[in-house]
Amino acid sequence: MRPTLTASFLKFTCEWLFYADFRPIKGYAMLSTFSNRALQKALLSSVAVLAIIVVCAPHDAKADPTPECNDSAGSPSSTECGTNSTTGAAPNATAVGNGASATGERSTAVGHTSNAVGENSTAIGQSAETISANTVAVGQNTYAQGQFSSVFGASAATVADFSTALGASSFANAANSVAIGYGSFADRANSVSFGSFGLERQLVNVAAGTQGTDAVNLNQMNAALAAIVNPYFVVNGVGAAASATGIFSTASGVASLATGDLSTANGYDSRATGLRSTTFGSFTRALGTDSSAFGQGSIASGQGSTSIGKFAQSYEINSSAFGIQALARGVNATALGAYSNATATSATAVGAGANSSFQEATSLGYQARANEIFTTALGSNSTASGHSSTSTGAYSQATGERSTANGYFSVAVGQNSTASGASSIATGVNSTATGSGAYATGASSTATGARTEASGSSSTATGYFSLASGSSSTAVGSFSSATEEASTAVGNGSSASAIESTALGHDASASFFGATAVGENSGASGGDSTALGHGSRASGDDGMALGAYSDAIGEDSMAIGSRSTAHSDNSMAIGNESGALGLSSVAIGRSATAVGEYSIALGRSAYANGIWSVSLGAESSAGYDYSTAVGFGASAAALSASAFGRGAAVYGENSVAIGARSFTTRINVVSFGNVGTERQLVNVAAATQGTDAVNLNQLNVVSNVANNALTTANSAQTSA
């Protein structure tokens, strides 16, 4: 009965290994000192060893927070794909998978938390790890420490140089040793093991290693040689059909050939001709130094190359091909996936049918294509064909130089263009389209938001369904539109439809050259007109409306104040609810109204109705042509009438009322008061003309003369 390795004992072993300054080889050496044979067998079983290696071995934590494939910050020639993936400062390295780490020069790590530390090493599978140079680890929790060692199978491990472990939980612990099969354990240099203590298999681990019963019993082999013309298994070149002529080489299989020193050929008509080369499978070829070919018809001809999969092919130095008919034909190239192709220096293709055909190109995803130098294509059927372009997302296309397409069916055609979002399109040079269905076709244009369109050069459209079609135009807000040169529309539903027009505010509209509308529902439809305020309108050329619901209708008109109106040309209305209706009229003050042409109304509720009429003062009124009313409540209610003073009133033509409450209804008179409120005229100069007013002094002179004449007459009468 084999002893069981419990979790508590495994924990104790991990703590013991760490206390002893954990090293895989050192740990194994210490474990081998246990005197209890059963305990030693349990600890040295491949499951236990691999469990200790996987659980106890330290892993360096990396920090790359993005899931997309990126050039490494530490080395631009390296590629990182997956959240927390990293290549550190290593050149020409590739890390693919969440937490994957490839820190060795020209190393490759593929799989969740995989770790490739050694130069030219390859780690594939969840938590797969390669520590030394030129090592290969394929499978979940695999571990390759010895230089030029190879590991294949879940939880398999090697800790010695030039060692090979093939099979789940297999373990090779000695130089040039080979462990083949589940749980196999190779602890002697230059040995091939097909089992372990308590799990022996035929041909391997039959008896002591220095006697005739090692590997194949000599007596059995001699008998077999005498009875079999074409032996199936040959060690060090012994046999007719299988041939192993290289030093420490192994050939296994009909017509297999191992001519390279330390090489292994396993499979019908397999060939291992390179130094330390390894083949497994019929018709396999490992021709380069340290090359490996696994799978029917696979070929590895480059130094340090690896081919795994039926008809997989790797032809250049450190190239790797994984998958049915995968092809790696560039130095440091990697092809991973059925029918994948990486055919240029440092090219990487990951995914069924993926293709990277130019230097340092990277394709990741089914049928992904990276067809130009320094390109990156990530996603099913994605294409990056422009120099240094990047496409991310299914069916994305980046065809312009240094272009970027990010999103399902996104397209970036223009040089330096960027399309981000499903079905986004950026065709203009230096254009940017961001959002689902965003469309940037103008040079240096920017479209941001779902279904936005920026088709004018240097145009900007931001917001759902926004449109900027004019050169240097800007549209910001849902359904906003700027359709002419240098036009600007900001606000949901805003519209700037004329050259150099500006509309700012919800549903604001500027529809004529140079027009400006600011405020919700504001509108500027006159040339160079300005409407500022909620609901304001400026429809006359050069008109200005400032204030909520203000209205400048005439040319060169001005309406300032809430609900103010400048109706005619050159008219001016200033004040809430003021109105300048006549040509060149002026109304200033709350509710002031100037109706007549050239009329002026100044003051709250002032009213100038006649042509050239003037009304100055709150509630003053000049109701007829050429009339003038000055003062609070003053009224000039006749043609050419004038009223000056608070409450003054004139109802006669050409008449004047001067003073507070002065009043007249007569024609052509001047009134200085009213009945009962008459006023004196003081400081009146002496009259000189017939129509001049006389003063009291002049009247007294006349009165004295008359009195003297009367006295003289009376005296004469008395004398007579």
Residues 325 and 367 in one domain: yes
**Same domain for 313 and 280:** no
Q: State the CATH number of the domain containing residue 17.
A: 2.150.10.10
Please answer whether residues 331 and 344 qualify as being in contact, where contact means their C-beta atoms are separated by less than 8 angstroms.
Answer: no
Domain boundary, last residue among 255, 286, 317:
286
HSE-CB for 424 with a 13 A CA cutoff = 33
Do 13 and 137 lie in a common domain? yes
For residue 113, give its domain range.
7-158
385 and 262 part of one domain: no
Residue 692 counted as domain residue: no
Span 438-446, average pLDDT: 97
| Residue where the block lists tokens 């934590």 | 61
Q: How far is residue 623's CA from residue 606's CA, in Å, rounded to a whole number?
A: 11
- Contact (CB, 8 A) for 629 and 615: yes
| Segment 587-612 mean pLDDT | 97
Q: Which residue pairs from 503-509 have beta carbons closer than 8 angstroms and sit at least 24 positions apart in sequence?
A: 505/534, 506/477
- pLDDT surpassing 60 at residue 202: yes
Identify whether residues 317 and 263 lie together within a single domain: no
In a domain, 171, yes or no: no
**CA-wise closest residue to 483 among 492, 471, 493, 491:** 471
CA distance 325 to 308: 9
The residue among 367, 393, 412 that closes a domain is: 412
Rg of the chain in Å (alpha carbons)? 51
Choice among 25-34, 156-165, 410-419, 709-718 with the minimum mean pLDDT? 25-34
Answer yes or no: do 265 and 131 share one domain: no
- The predicted-structure confidence for 21-32, as pLDDT tens digits, reads as follows 333 333 333 333
Q: How many domains does the chain have?
A: 3
Residue 56: which of 26, 78, 32 has the closest Cα? 26
96 and 35 within one domain: yes
Percent of the chain surpassing pLDDT 70: 85
Tell me the pLDDT tens digit for each residue of 467-520: 999 999 999 999 999 999 999 999 999 999 999 999 999 999 999 999 999 999
Domain end residue (candidates: 351, 380, 412): 412
82 and 99 Cβ atoms separated by less than 8 Å: yes
Q: For residues 240-259, b (16+ Cβ closer than 10 Å) or e, as one string? A: ebbbbbbebbbbbbebbbbb
What span, in angstroms and rounded, lies between the C-alpha atoms of 243 and 234?
6
Report the Cα–Cα distance between both ends of the chain, in Å, rounded: 187
Mean pLDDT, residues 146-168 taken together: 93
Residue 531 lies in a domain: no
Q: State residue 53's pLDDT score.
A: 39
Whether pLDDT at 240 is above 50: no
Centre a 10 Å sphere on the Cβ of residue 534 and count the other Cβ atoms it contains: 17
- Give the pLDDT score at 214: 56
Per-residue pLDDT at 688 exceeds 50? yes
Residue 65 has a pLDDT of 62
Structure tokens at 67: 């899931």
Question: 334 and 225: one domain?
Answer: no
Reply yes or no on whether the pLDDT at 17 is more than 50. Answer: no
Residue 38 and residue 82 in one domain: yes
Q: Are residues 405 and 276 in the same domain?
A: no
- Whether 128 maps to a domain, the answer reads yes
Residue 276 belongs to a domain: yes
Q: Please report whether residue 61 resides in a domain.
A: yes
- Do 400 and 269 lie in one domain? The reply is no
Classify residue 540: in a domain, yes or no: no
* Residue 3 confidence (pLDDT) above 90: no
Element (H, E) at 307: strand 306-308
How far apart (Å, rounded) are the C-alpha atoms in residues 310 and 643? 112
SS (H, E, C) 379-414: CCCCEECCCCCEEECCCCEECCCCCEEECCCCEECC
User: Residue 303 forms beta bridges with which residues?
Assistant: none
Query: Does a structural domain hold residue 350?
Result: yes
User: Both 52 and 106 in a single domain?
Assistant: yes
